[in-house]
Amino acid sequence: MTSNPATGDRPENQESQVTTPPSLRAPAPARPLILGVSGASGLIYAVRAVRFLLLSDYTVELVASKSAYMVWQAELNIRMPADPSAQEEFWRQQAGDVTTGKLRCHSWQDVGANIASGSFRTLGMIVIPASMSTVAKLAAGLSSDLLERAADVQLKEGRKLVIVPRETPFSLIHLRNLTALAEAGARIVPAIPAWYHHPKTVEDLVDFVVARAFDQLDIDCIPISRWEGY
């Protein structure tokens, strides 16, 4: 595991197996993508998602749940600022000082934000990582904070909702809630990497999961190596 942890960049002499995805060359669509970051372990999934979307000039509306603040503290000993503009700067720094793309952060309490309304058109939403608490609340249609409301809106509007659950093992309740979400039209992309692409770094493993989540929205902006047969 020898890459730069902030950027995932490999040393120069290490041969890359990847090809440039088409959307690194094509202009990103104007509609925003919503990222919901809940209080599950694995904030690195969200950091890498932000990094690649902004590098490809996407517009990102980000909402972190109340518990996500605690996970930042527990996993990385970092305090995530609550103020939306300070939080935008924070995510850009965590993503490797990315200056491109558009990022707007929202408070988990702000249920009057743009993304709380179906009239605000989006590409869809990815909840990454998704805790079992958030999965349960989404399955029940609770909308008790902005993350849950924004996800509920994507479902009611027939837009794409991608859930990246992080828990192990799953209880029967977790599985039933995930099934209910799949039945309602959500795509379930567990944080389970593959190994056939010969990952060498933690970022290789993380990026594979994030890229498969992006695939559900037809977003191809992560240079992973894809299986092309023998």
Ligand X SMILES: Cc1cc2nc3c(=O)[nH]c(=O)nc-3n(C[C@H](O)[C@H](O)[C@H](O)COP(=O)(O)O)c2cc1C
Residues 172-201 that bind ligand X (CB under 6 A): none
With respect to ligand X, which residue has the nearer C-beta, 40 or 224? Answer: 40
With respect to ligand X, which residue has the nearer C-beta, 41 or 114? Answer: 41
Task: Report cis status (omega within 30 of 0) of the bond before 129.
Answer: yes
Considering only CA atoms, give the Rg of the chain. 17
CA distance 147 to 35: 9
Residues 127-146 that bind ligand X (CB under 6 A): 131-134
User: How far from 99 is each of 23, 87, 89, 142, 150, CA to CA, in Å?
Assistant: 18, 14, 9, 35, 26
CA distance 1 to 24: 25
* Contacting range for ligand X; rule: CB under 6 A; set: 16-24, 27-35, 63-71, 86-94: 63-71
With respect to ligand X, which residue has the nearer C-beta, 30 or 173? Answer: 173
Task: Output DSSP code: residue 115.
Answer: G
Q: 134, 144 in Cβ contact below 8 A?
A: no
User: How far from 14 is each of 18, 21, 171, 225, CA to CA, in Å?
Assistant: 12, 20, 41, 15
Alpha-helical (H) ranges within 32-141 are: 43-55, 66-76, 84-94, 132-139
Beta bridge partners of 61: 34, 104
Q: Please report whether residue 67 would count as binding ligand X according to CB under 6 A.
A: yes
By CB under 6 A, the count of residues binding ligand X is 17
In the chain the first and final C-alpha atoms are separated, in Å, by 26
* CB 184 to ligand X: min, Å: 18
* Contacting range for ligand X; rule: CB under 6 A; set: 15-23, 126-134, 150-158, 211-219: 126-134
Q: Please report whether residue 39 would count as binding ligand X according to CB under 6 A.
A: yes
Q: Please report whether residue 41 would count as binding ligand X according to CB under 6 A.
A: yes
* CB 181 to ligand X: min, Å: 14
With respect to ligand X, which residue has the nearer C-beta, 26 or 70? Answer: 70
* CB 230 to ligand X: min, Å: 36
Q: Kindly write out the interface string for residues 147-166 of this chain, putting x where it contacts ligand X by CB under 6 A and - elsewhere.
A: -------------------x
Q: Which amino acid is at 66?
A: K
* CB 133 to ligand X: min, Å: 4
With respect to ligand X, which residue has the nearer C-beta, 28 or 135? Answer: 135
Task: Output DSSP code: residue 22.
Answer: G
Using CB under 6 A, list all residues that contact ligand X. Answer: 38-41, 65, 67-68, 70-71, 74-75, 131-134, 166-167
